[in-house]
Each structure stands twice: as structure tokens, then as C-alpha cells.
A and B are shown apart, each in its own frame.
Chain A
């Protein structure tokens, strides 16, 4: 079996053959792929692999291929956010995480498909077309980092990077049956990540196992002076790979098991919580009363920030340009023609929410609710080590099912957005299935307590077989 390699499998294979051969085999798989997970592959991948073979590049990820979400800037490699408005844009600089990965010897395979500007839960809003869920090609892979999750699930990359603004790593991880981590806000530098909602988002890794998540975090995590919101706190993720949850106190928030939660999903998650009890942990219900307002607060804040973050795409310095009798008309047309409909909707809503007369009602109010949501977490973590809940209230939905009604798609983020509002870390791990589709267990930790998260997730993985499930060959 050459697919679904972990980092240590890859290293063994490199030792047995060569980095070049390993990279070439991945590029071959990508070439034959039918899921549309990549937006482009890197011409430099084989060169890097050759340098690893010659010993010119070393480091903890030497020769390990990685797929990068298309909103993370890669020098010399197109970075488009899956948007027409960045068609042809090639960054002249690397994001901080890319620099770190290169120093660690990783081989960038290519860029992965996503919802345009990370706005979505299905990868359907990509200008490159939807990525197919490897478990069922009629279903979405989740979003917005759908490509990053799908290529790992399909074995087309051992590891990948996504970004998570309101669940964009965890949702596709859950839908595709892989592991995905959203770090504490400030734990990974955002320098080079093309902003959607900058006060909420973090870059996070995706992989087939928790150990690989920790290995990537040890490379990309940590302080960066170029990101003023980066926090100087050392976390040793790999040291937390310990199979022991005895005495772990788990809080289970009622509010995350609401009406909309699919019964198969609910069962898989409760089975997981019971398994933890078996393993020596204890659980108790906890109330997080402001959860029901988190979604509205999240979307208000995200769209407001987005309306400003996306203002720079005006056809002047990069991207395509439409005609217009003056600059303002040119910019208005360029933006109308080249942003997708969902992006335009969010920009308009965000502009409205920030505009004179409405700012207090929407934007400011949402920030106050954000405070209340954050306080829910502070209260919970006074009593519990971690919280557990379904990552997504339902398994992967059908392609096209929620395209017409944006609100119905927003509602699927109900269990993932509160953590972004609070800035706490969380991880989604496979915990079974519902109707043959993967289900994700979400484990939530306190600020900068990634170690406890990883220990909990790793122990679960060691004591269950859920992460070994792979999508069958789909006709």
C-alpha cells in the first residue's frame, strides 16, 4: 500500500528508496486523481526532494510531502484563494509557515482547493469547481479547507495545511475522516495567510494521525515577529503524544447536541465519550448558554472584517482588471465580475454591518456577544480539562444541496465557530461513521493547552480503530 502514509511511513520509504521517488509517486497519484483536490502542483517539488537526497536539505520533515491550502502565500507558486480575482497572482514571498516548512525540509506538493476566500463549508464556491469527498463523490468534502482534507483522505498527500476561521479545518477533517487541528489564536503566525477574518483565523495542520499533527505543529508553531498577534509561548506538541487520559475531566456542553444534530453523529460522539470513560477519564455536562448566539456573532464579525480585508482586490496591483471610464468604475466592475456570489454577499453584508448607523447594532453588538461566548469557555475550563462535542452536526452533505440557501450552510457551522470567537484550540478526530460517512469528534482545550488536546486525541486514536478507516474505491 503506497497511499495513506504517515510521516514515519514516508521517512521509512525515503530510506528504502529516495525522497525523489516518494515525491514522484505522490505527483503521479495527484495526476490521476479524480477528486479535484489540488489547484496546482509545484514545479519545485522534485527539485526539493532531490536536494533532500543529496543531503542539501535536512530537518524534521526532510523529504516529507505536504499540500498547502491555496490561501497561504507561496513564493513563486500561484496563490489564488480559489478566486478569479487572484487569477495569475504569484506571491513574491513565502508565508511564515512556508518558510518554516522549507527549513524543516518539507516538499511542497501543490496548492489545494478551497471555498473562495475560505468563505464556505463545502468547497463549492471555488472558481475551480468543487472538490469531491473521497468517501462519496456525490458529496462535498466540507470547507473551506476541503481540498486539504480530501487530498489527505484520498492518500494524495500525507499531510496538509488548512486554515480555520470558523471551522474550516475541522469541518472538512470531519467530513473526510482525517485529523485536523485549529491552534490557539496566536500560536501560529498568520504572516502570509490571505485574510478572510483576521481576528478569528489560524492556520492548522491536517493528517491521518495525531502524531503527524503534532509533528507539523512543532515546525509551524511558535512566535513570529511579523505577526503582531503572534504570542511567544513554547509548546512541545510531540512530547504530548502520551496514551494516558486517567483523571482527565471532560465537559460535555448540552448546547452542542441541539435539535439539528444527526442521530448517527450523536451516537458516534457519545460512543467516543463513553470510550474515554472506559479509558479512565470522567465526563459531566456543562452549560454554555451563549452558544446559540455564537453563530450570528461569528458571521457578523467575520463578514465585517472580510469587507475590509478584501478591499485590496481592486484590479490595480494584482489580478485581472476590467474596463471602466475611471478607476472607481474599473474597481467596481473588476470586483463584481471576479468575486464569486457568496464572497460578494459577505462583503456587502460586512460593509452594511460596519456602516454608519448600523455599526452599533451589528458589529459592536457581535463583539459584546463574543465576550459572553468567551466567558462561557472560561467558566467551563475552570472545571474541565477539555470539552467534547460533535465537530459537525451532520455528515458530509450532497453537492448542490445547500448552494441556493446560504443561511442553511451557515447553520452547519454551529459547533465550530464558538472556538474561533474564544480563540481556544480544538481538534477534530475521526470517531466512527453515520450512514457510511465519517464523523468527527471535536475536542476543545483551554488557551495554549494544545498539549492536553493532543494527549486526549492521541489516547483515543491508540485505543480505537476509527482513524484507520479509509474511503473505499468509489466508482
Chain B
């Protein structure tokens, strides 16, 4: 079960603005999915290694060789606001 408070906290962690009414609704909808996930509790996984990667590969590296960067205009073309070659965003605090 997920509470309304938890929904709000998770919303903040995920940077998704959630108003009061929405939080109520989410609490219900998310809880039913989490209940479903809860069936994983039935599985005995003692001593079972988690699978982070299905392919058993290791040590994949790149040599330290420079490749071309993008043109500045291609970097800035998709942003909502730019200034003097910088991407502009609202202040932090």
C-alpha cells in the first residue's frame, strides 16, 4: 500500500508535480499495481544472484581517442532558451 504522503514524496523525488486530488487518485492506482508486484514475495530467492545483465560480458572499453563533438548550433538547437552559447534555465533555488 502506498499512502498519499508517499505519493507526494515520490513525486518530488521524480520531479513530477502532483496536486492533492491527483495524489489521492495515484495512491489508489499505484497501490493496485504494487499489490500485484507483491506476489514476488512468494518466490523463494534465498541465495539467488540478481541478474543485472543477461549477457555475461565484462571489460568493455574504449581507447582514449578523440572523436568529433557536435557543432554548438546542434547542441543548442533543441533548447527552449539559449544565451551567448549557453543553455539558459531558471535559477536553482
Contact = CB atoms under 8 A, between A and B. Distances in A.
Given A325-B90, A327-B92, A369-B43, A348 B10 contact: yes
A307 interface: yes
Interface in A329-367: 329-333, 335-336, 339, 344-345, 347-349, 351-353, 355, 361-362, 364-367
Interface residues on B, range: 35 or more
B33 interface: yes
Interface string A48-70: 00000000000000000000000
Interface string A269-299: 0000000000000000000001001001101
Interface in B61-88: 62, 70-71, 74-75, 77-81, 87
B7 A348 contact: yes
Contact of A352 (B10, B12, B71, B90): B10
A445 B45 CA distance: 26
Considering residues A290, A293, A410, which has the most beta carbons from chain B within 10 angstroms of its beta carbon?
A293
Contacts of B48: 368, 371-372
Contacts of A351: 10, 13-14
B17 A229 contact: no
A135 to B, nearest CB: 31
A185 B50 contact: no
B83 to A, nearest CB: 13
Contact of A407 (B32, B41, B49, B90): B32
Interface in A178-198: 185-186
A368 B49 contact: yes
B69 to A, nearest CB: 11
A326 B40 contact: no
B90 A345 contact: no
Interface residues on A, range: 35 or more
A326 B92 contact: yes
A315 interface: yes
Contact of A185 (B2, B54, B62, B71): B54
Nearest to A448: B55
A319 interface: yes
A406 B60 CA distance: 38
A interface SS class: helix
A231 interface: yes
A92 interface: yes
Contact of B43 (A293, A307, A324, A332): A293
A229 B55 contact: yes
A88 interface: yes
A257 interface: no
B55 A345 contact: no
A266 interface: no
A318 interface: yes
A186 B77 contact: no
B60 to A, nearest CB: 4
Contacts of B13: 351, 355
A423 B29 CA distance: 30
B29 A318 contact: no
Contacts of B21: none
A328 interface: yes
A352 B34 contact: yes
Contacts of A336: 16-18
Contacts of B89: 316, 327, 330
A326 B81 contact: no
Nearest to B13: A351
Interface of B: 2, 6-7, 10-18, 26, 29-30, 32-34, 36-37, 39-43, 45, 48-55, 57, 60, 62, 70-71, 74-75, 77-81, 87, 89-93
25 contacts: A89-B78, A92-B77, A199-B52, A229-B60, A290-B43, A299-B33, A299-B36, A318-B79, A326-B90, A332-B15, A339-B16, A348-B11, A348-B26, A351-B14, A352-B10, A352-B30, A352-B34, A365-B40, A367-B51, A368-B43, A368-B48, A369-B45, A370-B51, A371-B48, A407-B36
Given A229-B55, A299-B33, A326-B93, 17 more contacts: A92-B71, A229-B57, A231-B57, A296-B36, A296-B37, A307-B14, A325-B90, A332-B16, A347-B14, A348-B26, A351-B14, A352-B34, A367-B50, A370-B50, A371-B45, A407-B32, A410-B33
Top 8 nearest A-B pairs (CB, nearest first) are A423-B54, A367-B50, A318-B78, A368-B45, A92-B74, A321-B80, A336-B17, A332-B17
